Amino acid sequence: PSCEFLIGYFVSRQNFQHVQTFPKGDFLAVDLGGSQFRALEVKVFNDGKQSSQLESKFYPTPKEVIQGSGTELFNYVADCLLDFMESKNLQHKKLPLGFTFSFPCKQTKLEEGALLAWTKHFKVRGVQGTDVVSSLRKALQKHKDIDVDVLAMVNDTVGTMMTCGYDDPHCEVGLIIGTGTNACYMEEMRHIDLVEGDEGRMCINTEWGAFGDDGALDDLRTEFDRELDLGSLNPGKQLFEKMISSLYLGELVRLILLKMTKEGLLFNGKVSTALLTKDKIEMKHVCAMEKYKEGLSNTKEILTELNLFPSEEDCIAVQHVCTIVSFRSANLCAAALAAILTRLRENKKVLRLRTTVGIDGGLYKTHPQYPKRLHKVVRRLVPNCDVRFLLSQSGSAKGAAMVTAVAYRLAAQRKQIDAVLAPFLLSLDTLREVKNKMRAELEYGLKRETQASATVKMLPTYVCGTPDGTESGKFLALDLGGTNFRVLLVKIRSGRRRSVQMYNKIFAIPLEIMQGTGEELFDHIVQCIADFLEYMGIKGARLPLGFTFSFPCRQASIDKGTLVGWTKGFKATDCEGEDVVDMLREAIRRRNEFDLDIVAVVNDTVGTMMTCGYEDPNCEIGLIAGTGSNVCYMEDMKNIEIVEGNEGKMCINTEWGGFGDNGCIDNIRTKYDIQVDEGSLNAGKQRYEKMTSGMYLGEIVRQILIDLTKQGLLFRGQISESLRKRGIFETKFLSQIESDRLALLQVRRILQQLGLDSTCEDSIIVKEVCGAVSRRAAQLCGAGLAAIVEKKRENRGVEHLQITVGVDGTLYKLHPHFSRVLQETVRELAPQCDVTFMLSEDGSGKGAALITAVAKRLHNIGRK
């Protein structure tokens, strides 16, 4: 059977559960596909408790219209609607309209649906395979004096479920037993292969009327079913429906009575013309004949009207036939419904399912015994489901207006959300511009005249060579610059069995020390070193030490580094402008317990590059995407004007985090970036870093969430205490929320843990916000990296460059999409470079030791 999708239903479903957010207003609907055509006006109020008011008018559906041409049909629908609007004085209002269209359609959007096939008593030329919504729109446009906007197309089953869901939030099945039969239910998105996305649920219109069209019911179908089918408008189609729905029940009874009469079992074997006439017995007759008390006298009356002369026994027999036919219908329907209920129960993985089925349709509503029989059989078939059957009052028609109301509000919301996130969508041209600007800043930083005022500082590191494998020995390394401070002992073995062994200990740096005095900070560092030496039992050894210090430092040699300015979370006093190696030496002296041989001060990017360079000699770039964002690369000495000498290469620590501090990328900074900047320790500084690194992404998300909440688009418009807390939304939550494997409910749980009481609808929006922020970060980072690899390519003067980038940083390593988007952007913006990304295993620790080893080796050579 074909399936129809109501996109976004899950989202809208939430609205039914929140009284405040249900959209009020005036909505129109037309209902085509049942026994009668109907136009409706539904007013939704919002006066404390929600209520709705419905007015409608029925119109005939003459055979010329429902078995004529498509244009005629839609013109007729439009004419009726016009008449209805005139009678209600609605012509001069712009009104949204929902279209209940109860035939199998393939929907890719809420407001679009291609008819798969006509069913029931409809057979209109030139409609099959076309979009019925646009046909209706076209017909409506011919009437200049009405302004109607068709926002949603809804199947009657879905309309029924929606209407019942308005009263009972457990309603997740819609069932029609009327002219035709059909059902819809809420299916898990992860089970719907045809629609992208794994989150939440979507309503599936089963179109179960077509069950059996492949022969599956052949064992159950009788000669009467076959005969009825052959005489129908759509032979071979809708075989299940033809055993169940009201359009066919009377005819089945007639065919049975005819055969029985011909065999002499009824009416003394006398057949009347009426009994020979197709569709002479209708569902209303069957209902009347099965009535509890008057049934028998009704039967007599009806048969007499058919010019048959029934005896008392004939009447009882005919009644029995009616019961058999309608009971079979209820049984089959119950069996199919039981299949859906079982599916729901399994989807939810519960032992007992509690659920509500919304029902509409003339057979169910008017047949005296039908509901009772159906309920009983369902309970027998699925004893582990507690089912509430909720009769929907004109649900099939009203539901369209309900869906429209929600679609209307969602469309308005969508516009607002899109507007908020639009500045985060960067076009390829914009990214190219960022790359070009970065490229220009790299040059300023290298040139003597411009270097002092450059925002990308291009700091020489005095690291001139990568390891050659001959390094060996024991080294200490310190790693300061991010979330933690670490002390490491690194043992490097050279030769054929070359290896690196590391032992390390992590120490937290309390906030009051990060932002206290410089002396306190360095005393604390030395305290940690003392702990570590004690712990390793090497207090007496005077080991060479490499200090990974991941802040911008101006170096005059490998073991001297003047802090240019704190970044990230640090702001200790009396450090900026001072040599960090001197400060460390002094702190060691103050403690007067041990001595260390400080050989090198190293940036983490450089350490990362060195570590990867140890494995892959082609690695000449080091990238960090962690708490902060930075890059280093090997530059030709001749291009580094501020360092003497033109031979060989030296590693440049770009400190690209400061890119944009001169305002050159202000055109892409959003108001949220500005808010994050203003709330940071170093306002106005590190603008690029603040758009790309772990310390800030969560905070950008938080600012957007606050804004969306203010606009009433999230968290029911309530800005909670927790949302006000700076830093509450950590970047690791972006990684969790954006993970493809995470179901929406889990996202909701994360938000709830953060004290953000969210609906599933909120969760979808939050996830979208996280995606926009992290994607932009990765793209901007990729644009910057493209500038670097392009520069390296031009330095080498080659058409095609093959190069390896060593990468470290938790954002890069753990975010589910960051690394992929970054790589894609580099590929797009630097097509002539073939870039390999190599993850560094603990680059900043191992790298510091390697640099120390190299420096030691070169130093020793110098001494010899």
Catalytic residues: 486, 550, 604
Rg for the chain (alpha carbons), in Å?
Answer: 38
Using the rule CB under 6 A, is 165 a contact of ligand ADP? Answer: no
Q: Footprint of ligand ADP on residues 177-196 (CB under 6 A)?
A: none
Which of the stretches 107-115, 444-452, 601-609, 828-836 binds Mg ion when contact is defined by CB under 5 A?
Answer: 601-609
| Dihedral class, residue 821 (left if φ above 0, else alpha if ψ from -120 to 50, else beta) | alpha
Q: What's the rounded Cα separation, in Å, for the pair 785 and 806?
A: 12
Rounded to the nearest angstrom, the gap between the alpha carbon of residue 178 and the centroid of all alpha carbons in its chain is: 37
Q: Does 767 bind ligand ADP (CB under 6 A)?
A: no
CA geometry: angle 773, 774, 779, nearest 5 deg:
100
Q: Minimum distance between the CB of residue 193 and Mg ion, rounded to whole angstroms?
A: 42
Shortest Cβ 461–ligand ADP spacing (Å): 18
Extract the runs of DSSP E, i.e. beta strands, from 579-670.
Answer: 597-602, 619-625, 629-636, 649-653
Q: Which one of the spans 264-272, 340-348, 811-819, 854-862 is the region binding ligand ADP (CB under 6 A)?
A: 811-819
Which range of residues in 61-69, 284-292, 656-664, 803-811 is near ligand ADP by CB under 6 A? Answer: 803-811
What x/- string results for residues 677 through 716 when contact with ligand ADP is judged by CB under 6 A?
-----------------xx---------------------
Closest residue by beta carbon to ligand ADP: 482
Least distance (Å) from Mg ion to the CB of residue 806? 13
Residue 217 half-sphere exposure, CB side, CA atoms within 13 Å? Answer: 23
Question: CA-CA distance, 60 to 277, in Å (whole number)?
Answer: 23
Nearer to Mg ion, 626 or 694 (CB): 626
Please give, one letter per residue, the 3-state secondary structure of 440-501: HHHHHHHCHHHHCCCCCCCEECCCCCCCCCCCCEEEEEEEECCCCEEEEEEEEECCCCCEEE
What is the H or E stretch that residue 363 is in? helix 362-366
Round to whole Å and give the CA distance between 88 and 91. 8
Q: Which among 7-15, 274-282, 322-330, 475-483 is the span making contact with ligand ADP, rule CB under 6 A?
A: 475-483
814 touches ligand ADP (CB under 6 A): yes
Segment interacting with Mg ion, rule: CB under 5 A, options 575-583, 624-632, 694-702, 748-756:
624-632
Task: Please say whether the beta carbons of 182 and 208 come within 8 A.
Answer: yes
- Provide the mask over 466-495, with x wherever binding to Mg ion is found by CB under 5 A and - wherever it is not: ----------------x-------------
What are the residues whose beta carbons fall under 8 Å from the beta carbon of 167, sequence distance 6 or more?
Answer: 390
Residue 498 in contact with ligand ADP, rule: CB under 6 A: no
Q: Does position 481 bind ligand ADP by CB under 6 A?
A: yes
What is the DSSP secondary-structure string of 731-781?
HHHHHHHH-TT--HHHHHHHHHHTT----HHHHHHHHHHHHHHHHHHHHHH
Check binding of 810 to ligand ADP (CB under 6 A): yes
Near ligand ADP by CB under 6 A: residue from 702, 815, 846, 856:
815
Quick one: which segment of 49-57, 335-343, 378-386, 626-634 binds ligand ADP (CB under 6 A)? Answer: 626-634
Partner whose binding site includes residue 233, from ligand ADP, Mg ion, none (CB under 5 to 8 Å by kind) = none
Q: Residue from 811, 826, 833, 853 that binds ligand ADP (CB under 6 A)? A: 811
569 binds Mg ion (CB under 5 A): no
In the complex, the smallest distance separating the C-beta of residue 714 from ligand ADP, rounded to whole angstroms, is 22
- Least Å from the CB of residue 479 to ligand ADP: 7
- Read off the DSSP letter of residue 48: S
Count of residues that interact with Mg ion, criterion CB under 5 A: 4
Whole-number Å distance between alpha carbons of 673 and 677:
6
Q: Are strands 94-101 and 25-32 parallel, antiparallel or unpaired?
A: parallel
DSSP alpha helix (H) spans, 38-155: 63-66, 70-87, 132-141
Least distance (Å) from ligand ADP to the CB of residue 589? 28
328, amino acid identity: R
Residue with tokens 């209940």: 100
Query: Which of residues 362 and 626 has its CB atom nearest to Mg ion in the complex?
Result: 626
Note whether 847 binds ligand ADP by CB under 6 A: no
Q: Which is nearer to Mg ion, 404 or 844 (CB)?
A: 844
**Choosing among Mg ion, ligand ADP, none, which partner's interface includes residue 810 (Cβ < 5 to 8 Å by kind)?**
ligand ADP
Long-range contacts of 18-23 (CB under 8 A, 24+ apart): 18/716, 18/759, 19/49, 19/50, 20/46, 20/716, 21/409, 21/716, 22/46, 22/50, 22/405, 23/405, 23/406, 23/408, 23/409
Q: Which positions touch Mg ion (CB under 5 A)?
A: 482, 604, 626, 844
Q: Which positions touch ligand ADP (CB under 6 A)?
A: 481-483, 626-628, 694-695, 731-732, 735, 809-811, 814-815
